[in-house]
Structure 1
Amino acid sequence: MPYTKKHKMNIRHKIVQSASQAFRANGIKAVSVPQIMSGAGLTHGGFYAHFDSKEQLVAEACKSAMESTVTRLGSVAEQASVEEKLGAVIESYLSAAHRDSAEQGCIMPALAGEIARSSDDIREVFTEEVSRFLSFVSGLAGQGEDKSIALTATMVGSILLARSVNDPELSNKILSACQADLKQRTASPVS
C-alpha cells in the first residue's frame, strides 16, 4: 500500500528540519545526505523519493530556517509594547542564546559566507529570504529600506563576530555593545 500524500509531506518536512538544523550548526558542505536523513530518523535510501538533489534541499532548508526566525522574532515583537517592538527584536537577536544556538538561529550569520560560493539557484532563494527578513525589520522599524538594511547587516555581523571569537568575555561585549548601539540608533526621538 503506497504512503498517503500527507505522510510523504510529513517525512519531507522532517528531512527539511533536520537539514536546516544541521546546515546552520555545521555548514552545508560538512553535512552529508546520510547525516541529514539520520537526523530525521530515516535511512538515506529514501532521500531521492523526496528531493532531486542536495541543492534542492539546501534551498528548502533556507526557506524553512528564515520562516522560523521571522516567526520567532515576530512573537518576540508581539509581546512587547508598540514602542519597544524593535528593541525587543534587537535584544533577542543579539543575545547569548541566539549566539550559542546556531542550529536554531538565523540562517544569515550561520551560512552567508558559504551561500556566497553556492549555485545561482541557492543564492536566489537566499536572496529572497534575506528580502523577507528585511521586510520584517522594515515593518518593525517604520524606517526606510536603507536603514533596515543597515540594521540587519549590523545584527547579522554582530552575531557572526560574536560566534567567531574564542574569548567569551569579548563575545559578550560584542553582543552588548552592538545591542546598545542599535537600540540607541533606532530609538524614537523624545518629543
Structure 2
Amino acid sequence: MPYSKAHKDKTREKILENSFVLFATKGFEGVTIDELMKDCGLTRGAFYAHFASKAELYREALKYRACSTKLANLKPDNTSNRQWLSLLLNAYLSLDHVNGERTLSCPLAFLAADINMQDDTIKTAYAEVYYGMNTAILEYAIGYCDCDEQDVLSVTAMMIGAVAIARTLQDKASIDNLLCACRREAGIKLGGI
C-alpha cells in the first residue's frame, strides 16, 4: 500500500529540517546523503523519492528554513509595525539565535560562509531569501520611519554578518557586545526602535 500524501509531506519536512541543521553545522561538502538519511531514521532510497540531488535538497532546505523563521511569520494583529520590527530585530540579534536555537536559525546567517561555494541555482535561492528579508523589513519600517531600501540593505547585511561572526567568537562578552552594538545601529537606521 503506498504512503499517503500527508505521510510523504511529513517525511519531506523531516528531511528538510534535519538537512538544514546538518548543512548549517557541517557545510554542503561535509554532509553525505547517507549521513543525512541516517539522521532522519530513513533509507537512502527515501531520499530519492523526494529530491533528485543533494544540491536540490540544499536549495529546498534553505527556502524551507526561511519560511519557518520569525520574520516569515505574520505580524500579530495587536502589534504595531514598529513593535514587531523591534521584536524581530531583538530576536535575530540575540544569543539564542547565535547559538542556533532551531526556531530562530536564519539560513542567511547560518549558511553565509558555505553559500559562495555552491552552484548558481543555490546562490539564486539564497539571494531570493535575502531579498525577501529586505522586502519584509522595509514593509514594516515604511509605516513609521523615514528609511529607504538602502537603509534596510545595510541593516540586513549587518544583521546577517553579525550573527555569522558571533557564531565564530568564543567569548560570551564579545558576542554580547557585538550583538548589542548591531541592535543599536539597526535600531537607529530603522527609526529608533
Does TM, normalized by the shorter one, top 0.5?
yes
Q: CA deviation at 1:75?
A: 4.8
Gaps of 5+ in 1: none
The one-letter amino acid paired with 2:92 is Y
- The answer to whether residue 186 in structure 2 is matched with residue 186 in structure 1 is no
Q: Which residue of 1 aligns with 2:124?
A: 124
Q: Flag the 1:75–1:67 CA change in 2: closer, same or farther, 3 A.
A: closer
**Within 2, Cα distance between the matches of 1:75 and 1:10?**
20
**Within 2, Cα distance between the matches of 1:49 and 1:75?**
29
Q: CA deviation at 1:99?
A: 0.6
Gaps of 5+ in 2: none
Farther off after superposition, 139-148 or 49-58: 139-148
**Within 2, Cα distance between the matches of 1:75 and 1:53?**
29
Q: Flag the 1:13–1:177 CA change in 2: closer, same or farther, 3 A.
A: same
- The answer to whether residue 11 in structure 2 is matched with residue 3 in structure 1 is no
Q: Flag the 1:51–1:82 CA change in 2: closer, same or farther, 3 A.
A: closer
Please identify which structure carries the higher helix content: 1
Alignment of 1:74-85 (within 5 A): 75=73, 78=76, 80-85=79-84
What is the SS of the residue equivalent to 2:111? helix
Which one of 62, 71, 74 corresponds to residue 73 of structure 1?
71
- The answer to whether residue 63 in structure 2 is matched with residue 63 in structure 1 is yes
Q: Which residue of 2 aligns with 1:54?
A: 54
Deviations 1:98-138 (A, max 9, x none): 01116550011111221112101111111111111111111
What is the SS of the residue equivalent to 2:136? helix
**Equivalent residues of 1:37, 1:47 under 8 A apart:** yes
Q: Flag the 1:45–1:82 CA change in 2: closer, same or farther, 3 A.
A: closer
Task: Provide the identity percentage.
Answer: 30
Q: Flag the 1:47–1:155 CA change in 2: closer, same or farther, 3 A.
A: same
**Equivalent residues of 1:76, 1:92 under 8 A apart:** no
**Within 2, Cα distance between the matches of 1:3 and 1:89?**
38
Q: Flag the 1:109–1:83 CA change in 2: closer, same or farther, 3 A.
A: closer
- The answer to whether residue 105 in structure 2 is matched with residue 86 in structure 1 is no
Q: Flag the 1:41–1:116 CA change in 2: closer, same or farther, 3 A.
A: same
CA RMSD of aligned residues (A): 2.1
User: What stretches of structure 1 move > 6 A for 4+ residues in a row?
Assistant: none
Q: Which residue of 1 aligns with 2:18?
A: 18
Q: Which residue of 2 aligns with 1:101?
A: 100
Q: Flag the 1:22–1:80 CA change in 2: closer, same or farther, 3 A.
A: farther
Q: CA deviation at 1:173?
A: 0.6
What is the SS of the residue equivalent to 1:87? helix
